[in-house]
A and B are shown apart, each in its own frame.
Chain A
Amino acid sequence: AQSVAQPEDQVNVAEGNPLTVKCTYSVSGNPYLFWYVQYPNRGLQFLLKYITGDNLVKGSYGFEAEFNKSQTSFHLKKPSALVSDSALYFCAVRFNTGNQFYFGTGTSLTVIP
């Protein structure tokens, strides 16, 4: 079955430290992978995507993610966290055979001043 997992419900990191939000997927084809961010009472905002090519993709607000095919992972990273990065982060996978997205359960990131 196609699925995406975010193993951590909550991630806390000190301001200025690097952050990682984990995502793994289970797929039987070639996935398109995405990260979205949700601020309180707002819709999901697109951060970055991996379609093909370079495994390291850079996105909005200084975020980046690395596609690792052997580990079926697509972890979100940022070298130096800001308090304003505190939000809910969703990993999503879409398969090249269809339009439907599968979302992870979300990871709440708190950056501590």
Chain B
Amino acid sequence: DSGVTQTPKHLITATGQRVTLRCSPRSGDLSVYWYQQSLDQGLQFLIQYYNGEERAKGNILERFSAQQFPDLHSELNLSSLELGDSALYFCASSGRSRGSTDYGYTFGSGTRLTVV
């Protein structure tokens, strides 16, 4: 167990629907990152939150949104789903505090989304 918890592990939904993916970061980590991994696109950075605030944005579609709550868990909302949104969505966390010597990410095991 990496300490980063993602739910659900698997999700099957129809096109046009909306889903919410949840991530609980490692205890004390303030940053949460969302990544999309698909066969043809590799690992794509979507968005980062730090202590509740959006910090960086990557290749995130307008149909996607995220937020980080006061207890530091994060949710990724995917709407108007298309077949091409089928992918593995990873959450990672880092940095127990400013000045932390922990330079790396800790990844969750991912949510596999299948849009049919």
Contacts and interface: CB of A to CB of B under 8 A. Distances in A.
Contact of A106 (B42, B48, B107): B42
Contacts of A42: 109-110
A49 B94 CA distance: 14
Q: How large is the interface on A (under 10, 10 to 19, 20 to 34, 35 or more residues)?
A: 20 to 34
Q: How large is the interface on B (under 10, 10 to 19, 20 to 34, 35 or more residues)?
A: 20 to 34
Q: Which applies to chain A's interface (DSSP): helix, strand, loop or mixed?
A: strand
B56 A100 contact: yes
B76 to A, nearest CB: 15
Most buried by B among A36, A43, A101: A43
Contacts of A22: none
B106 A46 contact: yes
Interface of B: 2, 4, 31, 33, 35, 42-43, 45, 48, 50, 55-56, 58, 90, 92, 94-95, 103-110, 112
Interface of A: 32, 34, 36, 41-46, 49, 51, 90, 92, 94, 98-106
